[in-house]
Every structure is written in C-alpha cells, then in structure tokens.
C-alpha cells in the first residue's frame, strides 16, 4: 500500500440494515459453545447439546443410495430450474394429496426450496418494501415465541415483525382478530402496512398443534384483511399420536386464494444439512417466491431433488418417519421423568404431542432465562436456548431440543442434580 492509499473501512459500507445486525441466534450459541468446549472438556463436562433443532439420528440409507446412483446419470450436472424439476414438484403435489388430501397443480402451485428457511426469507423479501423510514415500515405478524428466523429475515428485508403472543391462556392459539385490534388498530398503525400473518403449527419452540378450525380462522382473517397467510409446516410429520396429526392450511376453505405453506425435509427425514424443502399454495404467492429466488440462486442439484422425490413418495421412508416420531416421544418421556426428579411441575407443563421440543419454565429463583441458560452451560456443560431467543414473550422459559440419545439425556439430569439445578430450590 502506498502512502496515498488508506485501508477501506468495509464495515462502513454495509447497508444500514446490516450495520448492526447479529448472526442467527443458533449460530451464536454454537460459537460460544465451541469457545467454551476446551474448558468444559477439561473439567469433565463435555457439552450436551439440547440447543439446535437438528436430528442426530442417521438419515435413511435408501435416500442416500438414490443420490449416489444419480451421480453417474447423464444430465445431472447442469443447472436445474429455479422452481425445481417438475418430477420433484409432482412428488410434492402427490405428497400433499396423500398426506392432507390437498389437490395441487404441480407446475403452478409448487416450488422447490433450499430448505424452508430460504423460502420464508424470500417470501418476506418479496412482500416488504425495503427502503421505508422506520415509522412507515411494512409489517408481518409473527408468533411470539416463534422460530427466530422470522424476525431476523423480516428485519433483514427492511420490514417490521409484530408479535402474535402465544400463551397458555390462549392455548397457544390466539384469536387473530384480537391481535389485529390490540397490535394494529389500538396502536394507530395503518392497517395497509400489514402484508402477511405467519402461523407455525406444530410450533417451534412450544410444540403446539392447531386444529383445522384454527387454520380456517387464519384463512378467514387473511381474506378479511387482504393479507397473505403464511403457514410454516416444517414439523407436519413429527407427531406422536393420531389425534395430534397436523393439518395443512391448504385444507381450509378459501386457502388457495390467500395462503402459502412451507414444508421441509430437514426434521422428519433427518436431512437438515441437505437443504431441501418446498412451497405450495396460492399461485401468485408461489410465483413471488420463485421470482425472488430466480435473482438469488440457480436451483437445487438435480440429484438431490431425485433423492427428495424418493423420500417424500416412498412407503419405506414413510415408515422411517413414523419410527423416528416414536423415538422423539420416548425422548420426551425420559426428559419429563428427569425434570420431575428435579422438582419441575411436569403435570402443568402440558407436554406437546408433536416436534422434538420441550418448553420448560425456569426455576423460581431465576428472573432471566438468559442467566439460567448461561449458568447451565458454564457450570454443567448443558446447552439450551433461552426463551427470549424466540421473542420477548419467551421470557421465563428455555427450549430443549430432545435430539440426544437416551443415555446423554439421562446425563443431563444427573449433571443438573449434581450441580443443584432444581426447580424449587
Ligand atoms: C419452525 C421452523 N421453520 C422452518 C425451519 C427451517 O427449516 P429448514 O430450512 O431446514 O427447512 C425451522 C428450523 O429449525 C423451524 O424450526
């Protein structure tokens, strides 16, 4: 560098939106855990991770075999299309028909995704005008507590997320008309600013399941206000009993006029790293996702789409996802027993019948879930997610992802007992 040249302050070039934003919470937790791991190992407490919602079970070998076989096929190495191979999208439509009784036009009403997180992020980008001043920002209603990516992606697109508070009092199924009145009308917000409502059942982090009547309420609400209903159905296939079998919002009357739904192969098939999902529903909404995607990525590797097609249509793999759900039901039993042993009021906790999450109240002596999470990590090497990571309404709780094998789950409670992490004392 000559004396007339100065270093470029690249950070000052970041857009206003990105100047002060933090990395996704799960990656921040992972970094902190990586930094602490040598210390925790040295004191005989290697990290036990109940944090990220990523299955640790092996994915079915048969899905991998389809991918491997595809590698030697002709025409596999070139670009796919933005929306995905028609064969994959036909499989998505067939899955929607077989699982939910929903008829779709594979060409027009489906889109392949690089995981549902990508699709959610792109639909938010497509809905939100990014350059508006703070007071004019466009709004998307999101569950609180809810999947942390919603707020990240909405704010990252230049919009504003407004909370739909999920509480035991509203059985985690709040009346959306009340939310509209309390959060929009009473606060003097111009209703035209609201672009969409997000619902997520079975829910992350609570595991709550919605009856079809609630999804119908969501559709009616969206139609009444002329907004998009976005259903995040990433956990549709992770349920423990037939009475908790999740629905698709597309089963609701009028849904095809106003709703889009996101599905994921990540959790039920233990394929988080593969990044495969799909969007289905209202044609204009699916078109929007495809339009934004066409400027951002160039489609999914065709071999992966072949493997995905096999995964969502094969009876053998259906058996796998049913067996895996039993494993998570058992992990929940083990965890509830462990918590009960330490004094947690498990009878009042209303354990979910879906997902692999457990939403756990923090001990009485703590006023902050962040503090409790940090103490568990630094004292006992137990990694959990503070409830506030999912929104301000998550204070007072932590989220456990029950993805560890049984002996490690038992070790969690042995360490907690040893280190005095009981509920009441
Ligand atoms: C509610 C919810 N939606 C969407 C996703 C994203 O899943 P993926 O992008 O792996 O399909 C997750 C992942 O944790 C989630 O919990």
How does DSSP assign 263-308, residue by residue? EESTTTTT-GGG--EEEEE-HHHHHHHHHHHHTT-----HHHHHHH
Which helix (DSSP H) or strand (DSSP E) does residue 154 occupy?
helix 149-156
Sorting pLDDT into bands at 50, 70 and 90, what band is 2? low
Phi-psi region of 311 (alpha: psi -120 to 50; beta: other; left: phi over 0): alpha
Each residue of 287-320: b (16+ CB within 10 Å) or e?
A: ebbbebbeeeeebbbbbbbbbbbbbbebeebbeb
Instruction: Answer yes or no: is the C-beta of 268 below 6 A from any ligand 1 atom.
Output: no
pLDDT above 90 covers a percentage of the chain that reads 93
The pLDDT of residue 20? 87
Phi-psi region of 89 (alpha: psi -120 to 50; beta: other; left: phi over 0): alpha
Identify whether the C-beta of residue 422 lies closer than 8 Å to the C-beta of residue 407: no
Which helix (DSSP H) or strand (DSSP E) does residue 139 occupy?
strand 139-144
Q: List C-alpha distances in Å: 362 to 148, 256, 269, 349, 365.
A: 20, 41, 31, 12, 8
Q: What is the DSSP string of 208-261?
A: ----HHHHHHHHHHHHHHT-EEEEE-TTTT-BSSGGG-PPPGGGSTTGGGTEEE
Instruction: Answer yes or no: is the C-beta of 238 below 6 A from any ligand 1 atom.
Output: no
Q: How many C-beta neighbours within 10 Å does residue 28 have?
A: 12
Identify whether the C-beta of residue 416 lies closer than 8 Å to the C-beta of residue 382: yes
- Give 422 Cα–ligand 1 centroid separation in angstroms: 31
**CA-nearest residue, atom 6 of ligand 1:** 117
Q: Is the pLDDT of residue 165 over 80?
A: yes
pLDDT digits (tens, 9 = 90+) for 43-67: 999 999 999 888 889 999 999 999 9
Sheet holding 357-361, edge to edge: 357-361, 397-401, 385-386
CA distance 413 to 376: 11
Instruction: Answer yes or no: is the C-beta of 122 below 6 A from any ligand 1 atom.
Output: no
Sorting pLDDT into bands at 50, 70 and 90, what band is 5? confident
Atom of ligand 1 lying closest to residue 116 CA: 11
Cα angle 339, 350, 120; round to 5: 105
Identify whether the C-beta of residue 167 lies closer than 8 Å to the C-beta of residue 393: yes
Q: Is the pLDDT of residue 1 over 90?
A: no
**CA-nearest residue, atom 14 of ligand 1:** 53
The pLDDT of residue 277? 98
Describe the crossing of helices 302-313 and 86-100 by its angle, rounded to 10 degrees: 20
Entry pTM: 0.96
Instruction: Answer yes or no: is the C-beta of 193 below 6 A from any ligand 1 atom.
Output: no
Burial of 1 (0-12, 13-18, 19+ CB in 10 A): exposed
Show the DSSP H helices in 314-380 as ranges. Answer: 315-341, 369-380
pLDDT digits (tens, 9 = 90+) for 264-300: 999 999 999 999 999 999 999 999 999 999 999 999 9
CA distance 357 to 240: 12
pLDDT digits (tens, 9 = 90+) for 86-142: 999 999 999 999 999 999 999 999 999 999 999 999 999 999 999 999 999 999 999
Question: Beta strand pairing status for 277-281 and 259-264?
Answer: antiparallel
CA distance 349 to 316: 35
Show the DSSP H helices in 14-60 as ranges. Answer: 16-19, 25-42
Query: Rounded mean pLDDT of 26-42?
Result: 95
Distance of CA 151 to the CA centre of its chain: 12
CA dihedral angle for residue 80, residue 86, residue 87, residue 90, rounded to 10 degrees = 140
Atom of ligand 1 lying closest to residue 266 CA: 10
- Give 316 Cα–ligand 1 centroid separation in angstroms: 24
Sorting pLDDT into bands at 50, 70 and 90, what band is 6? confident
Burial of 113 (0-12, 13-18, 19+ CB in 10 A): buried
Q: What is the mean pLDDT of the chain?
A: 96
Domains of the chain with CATH codes: 13-58+318-418 (3.90.1150.10), 61-316 (3.40.640.10)
Question: Beta strand pairing status for 357-361 and 397-401?
Answer: antiparallel
Q: Is the pLDDT of residue 3 over 80?
A: no
């Amino acid at each position: 560098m000559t004396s007339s040249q100065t270093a470029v302050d690249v950070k000052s070039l970041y857009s206003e939106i990105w100047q002060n934003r933090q990395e996704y919470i799960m990656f921040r937790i992972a970094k902190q855990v990586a930094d602490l791991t040598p210390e925790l190992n040295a004191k005989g407490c290697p990290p036990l991770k109940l944090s990220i919602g990523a299955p640790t079970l092996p994915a079915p070998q048969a899905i991998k075999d389809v991918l491997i076989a595809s590698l030697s096929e002709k025409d596999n190495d070139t670009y796919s299309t933005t929306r995905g191979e028609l064969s994959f999208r036909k499989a998505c439509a067939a899955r929607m028909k077989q699982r939910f009784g929903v008829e779709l036009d594979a060409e027009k009403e489906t889109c392949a995704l690089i995981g549902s997180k990508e699709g959610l992020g792109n639909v938010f980008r497509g809905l939100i005008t990014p350059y508006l001043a703070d007071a004019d920002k466009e709004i998307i209603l999101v569950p609180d507590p809810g999947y942390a990516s919603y707020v990240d992606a909405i704010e990252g697109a230049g919009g504003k997320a407004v909370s739909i508070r999920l509480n035991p009092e509203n059985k985690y199924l709040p009346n959306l008309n009340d939310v509209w009145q309390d959060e929009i009308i009473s606060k003097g917000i111009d209703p035209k600013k609201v672009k969409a409502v997000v619902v997520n059942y079975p829910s992350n982090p609570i595991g709550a399941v919605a009856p079809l009547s609630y999804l119908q309420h969501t559709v009616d609400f969206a139609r009444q206000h002329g907004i998009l209903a976005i259903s995040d159905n990433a956990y549709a296939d992770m349920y423990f009993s037939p009475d908790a079998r999740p629905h698709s919002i597309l089963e609701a009357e009028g849904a095809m006029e106003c709703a889009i739904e996101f599905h994921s192969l990540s959790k039920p098939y233990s394929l988080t790293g593969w990044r495969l999902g799909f969007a289905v529903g209202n044609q204009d909404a699916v078109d929007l996702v495809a339009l934004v995607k066409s400027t951002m990525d160039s489609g999914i590797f065709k071999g992966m789409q072949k493997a995905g097609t096999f995964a969502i249509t094969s009876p053998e793999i259906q058996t796998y996802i049913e067996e895996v759900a039993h494993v998570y039901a058992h992990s929940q039993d083990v965890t509830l027993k462990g918590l009960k042993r330490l004094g947690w009021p498990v009878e009042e906790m209303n354990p979910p019948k879906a997902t692999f999450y457990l939403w756990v109240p923090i001990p009485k002596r703590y006023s902050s879930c962040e503090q409790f999470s940090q103490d568990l990590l630094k004292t006992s090497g137990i990694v959990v997610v503070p409830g506030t990571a999912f929104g301000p309404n998550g204070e007072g709780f932590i989220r456990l992802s029950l993805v560890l094998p049984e002996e490690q789950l038992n070790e969690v409670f042995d360490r907690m007992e040893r280190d005095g992490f009981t509920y009441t004392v």
